[in-house]
A and B are shown apart, each in its own frame.
Chain A
Amino acid sequence: MSIENIIGLIIVVAGMGLILFFSLPAANKKKPVFRPIPAFQRLRRGIGLAVEQGTRLHISLGKGDLLSSNNTSALVGLTSLERIARLSTASDRPTIATSGSGSLAILSQDSLRAAYRTANAAEQYDPDRGRLAGPTPFSYVAGVLPVVRSEHISTHLLIGNFGPEIGLVTDEADQVSAFTLASSDSLPAQAVLYATTQEPLIGEELYAVPAYLQAGPFYSASVRAQDILRWVLAAGVLAGVFLNLVGVL
């Protein structure tokens, strides 16, 4: 086993241990308090308004392939989709999900079905609400644009792997005065989203979406574990820089 593999394995095991520890009831006697992010407050308001006004929520899961390394953002999107679909089952217009890969489209249908089943509203489930918008980056955007324009959507949640072309979707959403919360694991997309959306999430904030939507204790534990790992890695990087400066490394 190489040194890189050993370090990687240690980080994975440490991450698993931290998530397990923070999800124990003993570690949650005092409810964890996360810093307020205005984007999530507006999202909650947006979900409530959509239910009251009979408008629709739209979740776009991006074009990340499940077999590629950039699929984790889409997995967060799927968890958020299920949570939001469950919160909005009372709405006249059900939540709609679009994605840029076949496997994600199938999983989005599955998540919607699970949400309706959990909410005891299985008869409301419609597989057409989880659809493939287009298999290539631009065809995906071209497929999402009519959804933004004509499906009576008041809130968009864009979570996944996008390219800079996502700017066309956010611009369209802005033109129809819909609220957009967007986040991506891709740096070019993050730069575009920062300029074009009301509420962009930067960096690892993307992975905190389920925790802020109160999807369960494991999600809060995961955010706390992520914070600790980040501090450890940052300390490691700084120590490496220092050792390099003094000539040890």
Chain B
Amino acid sequence: MRNPVATAIAIAVGLIILIGYFVPLGILSNIRIYLLDWAIGLAGVASVVAIINLLLVHGRKIKDRREPDRYSILLLLAFAATFIVGLVFGPASGTFQNIITSIQVPIEASLMAVLAVSLTYASLRLFKRRKGWMAVVFVISTIVFLVIGSGFLSIGTQMPVVRDILGALNMLPIAGARGILLGIALGGLTTGLRILMGADRPYSG
């Protein structure tokens, strides 16, 4: 049995925020801003709690007798170093930002490079995994949009026919994306409504 008080508070707050969004009443807007400010503060506290939990998990992983995780030591050391440097210089300091980004950016760039290779390989494997017309459509569309994106056909854009064909082709992904986004928006709406109605409670209370 979930806590009815927590559910009632969640529903009431949700309704106030929703009505405040649609109905331009001064008092509702003020309450809405207060509630959102509290939510931002709470989310910050939740992040601190989650980070402490992350450190504890890795601490326990290091001490695990059966399968100790040596990489967790690196995580704890990196966290401690970042935390201390951040305390000394201040999080907004240029020196601190430079130190962090000069480590973070190359690592993320190399991960992006690995991703590019693994995506290329995955696209090739797609044929093995999904035999059928969808795989063919996938490959044809990949080739078509690679050619369009390369600018190779830009020479022919002075011809009205080529320009119209390219325009129509470029509209296809936009139309598809809008269709998908419409479905996602409606899914998001019904999910939100379930929470507002107390039918879906992603909190135990």
Are B53's CB and A218's CB within 8 A?
no
Are A187's CB and B204's CB within 8 A?
no
Are B183's CB and A230's CB within 8 A?
yes
Nearest residue in A to B56 (C-beta to C-beta)? A128
Nearest residue in A to B112 (C-beta to C-beta)? A165
Which B residues from 41 to 83 make CB contacts under 8 A with A? 42-44, 46-51, 53-54, 56-57, 60, 67, 69, 71
Given contacts A15-B190, A20-B197, contact A114 B2 (CB under 8 A): yes
Are A72's CB and B187's CB within 8 A?
yes
Nearest residue in B to A133 (C-beta to C-beta)? B54
Given contacts A67-B39, A67-B40, A150-B69, contact A106 B50 (CB under 8 A): yes
Whole-angstrom distance between the Cβ of A189 and the nearest chain B Cβ: 12
The listed residue (B47, B57, B111) touching A103 by CB distance below 8 A is: B47
Are A167's CB and B122's CB within 8 A?
yes
Nearest residue in A to B142 (C-beta to C-beta)? A195
Q: How far is the CA of A48 from the CA of B40 in the complex (A)?
A: 40
Tally of contact residues, A, Cβ under 8 A: 78
Are B191's CB and A132's CB within 8 A?
no
Nearest residue in B to A141 (C-beta to C-beta)? B111
Categorize the interface residue count of chain B: 35 or more
The listed residue (B47, B179, B188, B199) touching A218 by CB distance below 8 A is: B199
Which A residues from 156 to 186 make CB contacts under 8 A with B? 164-165, 167-168, 170-171, 185
Whole-angstrom distance between the Cβ of B95 and the nearest chain A Cβ: 20
Are B118's CB and A168's CB within 8 A?
yes
Which residues of the partner chain A approach B164 to less than 8 Å between Cβ atoms? none
The listed residue (B2, B115, B122, B177) touching A187 by CB distance below 8 A is: B177
Contact with B along A20-48 (1 / 0, CB 8 A): 10010000000000000000000000000
Which residues of the partner chain B approach A121 to less than 8 Å between Cβ atoms? none
Give chain B's interface residues, CB within 8 Å of chain A.
2, 18, 22-24, 36, 39-40, 42-44, 46-51, 53-54, 56-57, 60, 67, 69, 71, 107-108, 111-112, 114-115, 118-119, 121-123, 126, 129, 138, 177, 179-184, 186-197, 199-200, 202-204
* 13 residue pairs bridging A and B, Cβ less than 8 Å apart: A5-B23, A8-B22, A16-B196, A67-B39, A67-B43, A75-B200, A101-B47, A103-B47, A168-B111, A171-B121, A196-B119, A204-B187, A222-B191
Apart from A12-B189, A142-B111, A171-B122, 9 more pairs, CB < 8 Å: A16-B193, A20-B197, A76-B191, A102-B44, A106-B50, A135-B51, A167-B118, A204-B184, A206-B187
Give chain A's interface residues, CB within 8 Å of chain B.
1, 5, 8-9, 11-12, 15-16, 19-20, 23, 65-67, 69, 72-73, 75-76, 78-79, 82, 101-103, 105-107, 109-111, 113-114, 117, 127-128, 131-133, 135, 138, 141-143, 146, 150, 164-165, 167-168, 170-171, 185, 187, 190, 192, 194-196, 198, 202-204, 206-208, 210, 216, 218-219, 222-223, 225-226, 229-230, 233-234
